[in-house]
Amino acid sequence: MASKTPRVIPEPGMKPNLQRDAREAFKVLKAGGIVIAPNDTGYILISCSAEGIERAFIAKQRKPGHTLGIMATYETHEQLHILPPEKFEMTRVLTQEMNSLLGVVAPYKKDHPRITALTPATLDRTTKEGTLGIGILENPFMREVGRLIDEDGRLIIGSSANLTGQGQKFRVEDIEREVYNSADLVVDYGLQRYHRYRRGGTIIDVDNMRVIRMGASYEVCRERVRQWWGVEFPEDPENPVGGPRSANGLATPSPQNAVLA
């Protein structure tokens, strides 16, 4: 289904419309194509078909052994992962109540119909040592695409829309030509929210409560896990929380944030 130049939406003169644009993306995904889609942590390259996933793998110049992730709704995370109720409660509060960015790695149900429908090659690229990674969709557009995919019984599989090792792309115009041209549809929603982090999303091995990747807004997730579940994750050295304490125990404002008298 690939075209030399992908179709771009919204078309010139039109503004984003979540339901309309999500339906367009869903049509392309259902037909086996590739979509470049907006995600708060950068643009992503996604597909639902083995052929599309293979093209995405080649376009990214992904090396053998590197995985692609599943990007899905919270409901899909509940369907496919094997975790005790208290762990699901934690991921629910973090993502659904508090809107934290979170990728979850955990054991999965190998006999679930949505898993058994994957080809052996796709399964090999999305699982590792009995675990499956799911990036829980956080922005309204991708949640709507995820809802449509859930109704259809498929899975969204993909990765960041960039050449392997070249970093997140937060604007469509920054995506490498090889990756851009591999898509059938590009949903251009402009500069993405967490561009200042220059990172993907946070990924946690929830089964073992281990941080796999410190991503955008990781320090917020870390503080919430510490406050409500008493679990101490490592501090992000690039984004420490708080600052020097004064004699009365209050944080001392940095010079650039101090109010001028």
Q: How far apart are the first and last CA of the chain?
A: 63
Whole-angstrom distance, CA of residue 146 vs CA of residue 153: 10
pLDDT tens digit string along 33-66?
999 999 999 999 999 998 998 888 888 887 766 7
Bridge partners for 72 per DSSP: 136
Separation CA 73–CA 142 (nearest Å): 9
pTM of the model: 0.87
Measured distance CA(59)–CA(179) in Å, rounded: 5
Q: What is the mean pLDDT of residues 174-203?
A: 95
> Per residue in 199-219, pLDDT tens?
999 999 999 999 999 999 999
Q: Mind listing the pLDDT tens digit for each residue in 227-260?
A: 999 999 999 999 998 754 444 444 444 333 333 3
Cβ atoms 105, 201 nearer than 8 A = no
Residue with tokens 């078909």: 49
Q: To which CATH superfamily is domain 7-229 assigned? A: DHBP synthase (3.90.870.10)
Domain chopping of the chain, boundaries: 7-229
Query: What's the mean per-residue pLDDT of the chain?
Result: 89
Cα separation, 99 vs 217, in Å, equals 11
3-state secondary structure of 216: coil
- Helix/strand/coil (H, E, C) string of 24-79? HHHHHHHCCCEEEECCCCCCEEEECCHHHHHHHHHHCCCCCCCCCEEEECHHHHHH
Q: Tell me, what's the pLDDT at 53?
A: 86
Task: Give the residue carrying structure tokens 């807004």.
Answer: 217
Question: Which residue pairs, CB below 8 angstroms and at least 24 apart, start in 210-216?
Answer: 212/103, 212/105, 213/103, 215/41, 215/101, 215/103, 216/40, 216/41, 216/101
